[in-house]
Structure 1
Amino acid sequence: MKVGINLRYLQRTITGIERATIEVINALVKLEDDLTLMGYITNRAFADLEIENTLFNCHKLEIKKSTLFHEDIGSRLYWDMVQLGKKVSCDNVDLFWGPSFSIPISIKCPSIVTIHDLAYEYFPKAYTPAMRLWLKIIPKISVLKSTRILTISENSKKDIIKFLNVESDRIDVVSWACNANFRFMPENKNVFQKILNYYGINAPYILTVSQISPRKNLDTLINAFALLKKNPSFLHKLVIVGNNGWLYSSIYEIVKREGLANEVIFTGVIPDNDLIAIYNMADLFIFPSLYEGFGLPVLEAMSCGLPVICSNTSSLPEVVGNAGILFPPKDIYSLVNAVLGLLENPWLYKDLRERGLIKASEYSWEFTAKQIIKIFYDLRKYNHTATRH
């Protein structure tokens, strides 16, 4: 079976959606011999050379490149919705998968679109005006055009039904997982400490992994951290791993206003090997996001044996289950109490670490890929049956 995939999104700065797409592709080609993937990209450079190397060295992934004439949103929209469809039609694929919110309007073969979340419906101001317009139009067109819809949590499925007016039986929930390299490795502390030294982390710390943007609610986390630091015996620093997103400057302003410039460490985006070390060496993980389609960093943290405190919104209770502490995302004092309660209670700390490791073991990219392969074959079978009739 020949499956076309829009991989243009992998050429931009890598975040959760892009990382998940790479993991799914790697799992798919390992599992299924009768599967050829045709990945469509533009002639533009990759933001991440490691991703580019991964794609071009994947033995059952054929890369198809076509010209993107300009980098403006109009040109990208034309490439995604029109130009790509023409290219796919020429290649006679059996089905097409759009892993990031869109499929071409001219697509002729059976198609699947992944809608990861509808955060833009709840927090439109967290996006640039151009991105808001894109998200308001393109997913709606794509779900109408697609044969089936994938999403990554039951919460996102509910939102798709609500906002995009899609029938429940057209939607398949296929959860994300995290790379198997993300695991609890207490025996590697000496090696990991050298990595921490590189990033200037030389004290106990609380960790969050998040893009710096309004929806991630880092202002609540920093304000809670400021309250914790008023106690001279609270020695932890706060480490924030992630890139600057839309409207990020207010976060740095809060850090400066609260006099926390020497207490909050911004690492930017870092390689996975370094991230694994930083997860393993942290004392706890906080994820205060206002809305997530899944919440991959939470799963990564649990996989690395890190007790989790996260907001009680959207998909996060679904992902964490009973393996973490949940709090209302705008309640600073609840977050402060959760941090102190966890750090001051060794029994609870150990219990949440063990629960998190068990919960994380329920997810794997192999299982995710098996579900997607079944959907691919069911869709092809349905199409052949419909064609004969």
Structure 2
Amino acid sequence: MRLGIDIHTVGARQTGNETYIRNLIKAMLASDEGQHEYFLYQTKEVALPEWMSKATIRKVTPHNPLLRIPFGFPLALKKDQIDVALFQYVVPPVMPCPVVTMVHDISFEYFPEFFNPLSRKRMQLLIPFSARKSAHVLTVSEFSKRQIIEKYRIPEDKISVTYNGVSDIFRHVTDALWLSHVLQKFGLDQPFILAVGNLQPRKNIERLVRVYAQLRKKDLIQHDLVLVGQMHWQGHAILNEIQKHGIEKHVKTTGYVNDTELVALYNRADVFVYPSLYEGFGLPIIESMACGTPVITSNVSSIPEVAGEAALLIDPASDQELSDSLVRLVTETKLQDELIQLGFLQAKRFDWKITSEQTVSILQKAG
């Protein structure tokens, strides 16, 4: 069977979407014994990992998505005689083969105020159309599945949950010299609390900064705060909050980091905090657990499904709960150790090999 996969997010620093497709394809190619031919479609020439050379790489033109999606992709798939294709979120209106679509979440439907108005309107138009048009829909949590069924009236037997996995690179590292070497560019000379996620309102980082500032003012916490993520829609409010409290010296913003740097940051952090208001999955939760970092995260959306019993769960709308949890986790060694061990076990539940096998099976049935 000829499988076509849209990889336009690879190299685009689209965080979760790119992490998903890279790890999924890597696991697919590693386990394939010649049953399938893989065709990967990129939209611009970017450096690809060597393991992708096992597949056929195609460049789809033009780069403009308004032309590439309705015209470029169908022509390329037809030329390669693809039996079934895999896309994320948006599919061409006319396809020469069945298509399976991954819809990670529909946060733009429930928190429209957190999105650029033009992008939001485009998603509200194209994503439900794509989901209904697809032979099958994939999503990353039971929570997202329920929302997609309810919002878009997708039949339950047409949508499957294939959880994200944890890449092997995310692991507990004891080599202090390696950690120091990787992290020297960030100038982190104090113990720190880590938050990972694009700087946007949905991630609730503004609240985290405010609570952190109050704890420092009361001398209840001495850790620095490290924020990892790219600037997104309305992200400037987070920087304003840092300046408002005069804590620029103690809050580090790194921007985008690569996986090696992220592994080092998880390992060096004393606490990982993820107070998001909404997630379809929440990859950083299990990545940090795999690295041995105790986690504070939210008790909403898909997050309890992913974190299980291995994190301190809080109401993300409560400053007090966030504050209390931060103080507990930086001061209670026994609690830290307990969450670290539970986190290792929880992270092992999410395996890209299993995800890839489930996905290939669904693609075969759809084709």
What is the TM-score with the length of structure 2 in the denominator? 0.96
**Could you tell me how far 1:142 is from its partner in structure 2?**
0.8
| 1:183-213 CA-partner distances (Å, limit 9, x unpaired) | 112x212321233332010001000111001
- Number of aligned positions between the proteins: 366
Q: Which residue of 2 aligns with 1:39?
A: 40
2:283 maps to a residue whose letter is: L
> Compared with structure 1, are the counterparts of its residues 233 and 335 closer, same or farther at alpha carbon in structure 2 (3 Å cutoff)?
closer
2:262 maps to a residue whose letter is: L
Alignment match of 2:169 (pick from 181, 201, 204)? 181
Alignment match of 1:247 (pick from 225, 230, 234)? 234
Taking the aligned partners of 2:300 and 2:10, their CA distance within structure 1 comes to: 28
Taking the aligned partners of 1:196 and 1:58, their CA distance within structure 2 comes to: 29
1:309 and 2:303 matched:
no
1:352 and 2:339 matched:
yes
Q: Is the 8 A contact 1:327 1:334 kept in 2?
A: yes
| 1:54-112 CA-partner distances (Å, limit 9, x unpaired) | 1x65233211113225xxxxx413311333112212221111111x2012111132210
What are the residue-to-residue correspondences of 1:158-237 with 2, within 5 Å?
158-185=146-173, 187-232=174-219, 234-237=221-224
| 1:117-156 CA-partner distances (Å, limit 9, x unpaired) | 0000111122212211211111111112110000000000
Q: Which residue of 2 aligns with 1:60?
A: 54
What are the residue-to-residue correspondences of 1:30-109 with 2, within 5 Å?
30-33=30-33, 34-42=35-43, 44-46=44-46, 52-54=47-49, 58-68=52-62, 75-98=64-87, 100-109=88-97
Q: Which residue of 1 aligns with 2:28?
A: 28
Point out the more displaced range, 57-66 or 109-118: 57-66
Q: Is the 8 A contact 1:228 1:336 kept in 2?
A: yes
2:53 maps to a residue whose letter is: H
Q: SS at 2:57's partner residue?
A: strand
Q: SS at 1:180's partner residue?
A: coil
> Compared with structure 1, are the counterparts of its residues 176 and 165 closer, same or farther at alpha carbon in structure 2 (3 Å cutoff)?
same
Taking the aligned partners of 1:19 and 1:60, their CA distance within structure 2 comes to: 19
Q: Is the 8 A contact 2:100 2:366 kept in 1?
A: no
Q: Give the RMSD, CA atoms, in angstroms.
A: 1.5
Q: Is the 8 A contact 1:29 1:35 kept in 2?
A: no
Q: Which residue of 1 aligns with 2:361?
A: 374
**Could you tell me how far 1:229 is from its partner in structure 2?**
0.4
What are the residue-to-residue correspondences of 1:295-306 with 2, within 5 Å?
295-306=282-293
What is the TM-score with the length of structure 1 in the denominator? 0.91
Taking the aligned partners of 2:273 and 2:37, their CA distance within structure 1 comes to: 40
Identical pairs, percent: 31
Q: SS at 1:53's partner residue?
A: coil
Runs of 4+ in 1 over 4 A off after TM superposition: none
